[in-house]
Structure 1
Amino acid sequence: MPRFAANLSMLYTEHGFLDRFAAAAADGFEAVEYLFPYAWPAAELATRLRDHGLQQVLFNAPPGDWDAGERGLACLPGRQGEFRRGLHQALDTAMALDCPRVHLMAGLAPSGTDRARLKDIYLANLSWAAAEAASAGRDVLIEPINTRDIPGYFLNRQDEAHRIVEAVGAPNLKVQMDLYHCQIVEGDVTTKLRQYLPTGRVGHLQIAGVPDRHEPDQGELAHGHLFDVIDATGWQGWIGCEYRPAAGTSAGLGWWRRRR
């Protein structure tokens, strides 16, 4: 059966952030993920994880100025130094939280900039980051994101993400495959799971109902079927529950309770 991690940036928002760890554990989650840990001391987060018997399985490296609309640095010209400093900050935090993987957001493609130039920067940054992360015993991930939620995002398709991972050639650089984004951009999710999970290049999955990003038992994707497909491939990773509850987190977990 797939293993599910609560995304604390989207779930349990009826609680303050630090109280979401307890809420997730009370509902039976054994793992958590979230966007960013940097607003809180790592020691405090580690205590919350330990006190509630939770594993930290994913968070993002610093994305630039999030509040100003930036969505990552990895492909951006002239930001390589900031990208490197952020990666080191993320790896230090990952060590403190015993988190095995960090997502590196690609960023928004600057208007008028040649895409080939951005790809060269992206590949160079990812190659460097993978080597740094390997020294720390961590994986780094890239995620295709749909252009409806983040217009202009550099990386949108699964096939492109896998070509990039293959081009870099680092065993600890993997794809974060979000089925919500995949369905919006490409569809054919069952086939893509069967195609990509056996490669070993998928390091993490995420789910949400399509099109409204609510619970995965809502919308156009048959997640029960997709979970069976994931099981059939033998994939053993975590699935992040990165959705916005329609009416309260705990009340909306019927899809998961039926699966347990």
Structure 2
Amino acid sequence: MNQYSVNLSTIFTEVPFLERFKKAKEAGFLFAECQFPYTFSMEDIQQKLEDNQVALALINLPPGNWEQGERGLAVLPDKIQEFKDSVEEGIRYATALKVPNIHCMAGILSEEADKKEAREIYLENLTYAASLMAKQNLSLLIEPINSFDMPGYFLSDIEEANSILSEVNMPNVKLQFDFYHIERIHGNLLANFKRYKDVIGHVQIADSPGRHQPGTGSIDYQRVFEFLKEVEYKGLIGLEYTPKGNSENSFEWLT
């Protein structure tokens, strides 16, 4: 289990969030990740990490008002100060909890929004965030998300994500390669991974369709894992899937 990071926002949801760290330990995981830890105190989370000897590998920046449909603030022209505040909050949690990676969701644009302006704001905001994170030795991740699951999401193409990384041109800004999303957007998983390997900072997996555990969809994860060894990917593999059935039973593919 030493290369896998279990996502506690999507797995072990049978129990309250703070109890999921114990579940992760009991299942044999050394690493966990979660999307938005901000409704819980840093002290409570830190205690659970210490009690269960689990390290937190990844969190997301605060996404704005999720209930009102916001999925990140980084491209929104009227949310620049709120984005900066979210960066400070994310850094506070990451440094306190010793989290090395922070994913920045781009946001959803309205149909009438100026996409060119949004892109310029995105570049400026990423540069701002990455500069602050670099001082704390933190990596900032961006991730293409498919438009079937999240219509209107600004960053829904891996080539565009790579262009953004090139333009920001900071060593601590990297690509989060989610096999589920890339399969839904582009397919050609192994070719796309190999093409962008040098800018990948974190990997996540789920099967497609359904976004459940490997073995429930059409992705050949046995080949994916063989391939990751072949290309000498050394990073963590985040399990960001919704278990089909009981969470504990969703790890059978690991044996």
TM over 0.5: yes
Distance of 1:213 and 1:2 partners within structure 2: 23
Corresponding residue for residue 179 of structure 1: 179
Question: Shift of residue 232 of structure 1?
Answer: 1.2
Q: What SS does structure 2 have at the residue aligned with 1:67?
A: helix
Corresponding residue for residue 159 of structure 1: 159
Distance of 2:230 and 2:43 partners within structure 1: 38
Corresponding residue for residue 229 of structure 1: 227
Moved more, 107-116 or 17-26: 107-116
Structure 2 spans left out of the alignment, 5+ residues: none
Distance of 2:205 and 2:160 partners within structure 1: 20
Matched, 1:250 2:211: no
TM-score by length of 1: 0.96
Corresponding residue for residue 52 of structure 2: 52
Structure 2 counterpart of 1:145, which letter? I
* Matched-pair contact (CA < 8 Å) for 2:2–2:29: no
Corresponding residue for residue 92 of structure 2: 92
* Matched-pair contact (CA < 8 Å) for 1:2–1:239: no
Structure 2 counterpart of 1:121, which letter? I
**Distance of aligned partners of 1:2 and 1:222 in 2 relative to their CA distance in 1, 3 Å threshold:** farther
TM-score by length of 2: 0.98
Structure 2 counterpart of 1:17, which letter? F
**Cα distance per residue 1:177-235 (max 9 Å; x no partner):** 111000001000011112122x1x11111100100111112211001111111111111
Question: Shift of residue 2 of structure 1?
Answer: 7.6
Corresponding residue for residue 21 of structure 1: 21
Structure 2 counterpart of 1:61, which letter? L
Structure 2 counterpart of 1:134, which letter? A
Q: What SS does structure 2 have at the residue aligned with 1:206?
A: strand
Distance of 1:94 and 1:20 partners within structure 2: 19
* Matched-pair contact (CA < 8 Å) for 1:32–1:55: yes
**Cα distance per residue 1:132-186 (max 9 Å; x no partner):** 1001110111110000111000001111111101110000000111110000010
Give 4+ residue runs of structure 1 displaced > 2 Å after superposition: none
Give the number of aligned pairs.
255
Q: What SS does structure 1 have at the residue aligned with 2:93?
A: helix
* Matched-pair contact (CA < 8 Å) for 2:36–2:59: yes
Distance of 1:141 and 1:252 partners within structure 2: 27
Corresponding residue for residue 31 of structure 1: 31
**Cα distance per residue 1:23-71 (max 9 Å; x no partner):** 0110001111111011111011011111111110001101110111110
Distance of 1:34 and 1:131 partners within structure 2: 23
Structure 1 counterpart of 2:101, which letter? R
Structure 2 counterpart of 1:40, which letter? F
Structure 1 spans left out of the alignment, 5+ residues: none
Distance of 2:103 and 2:124 partners within structure 1: 16
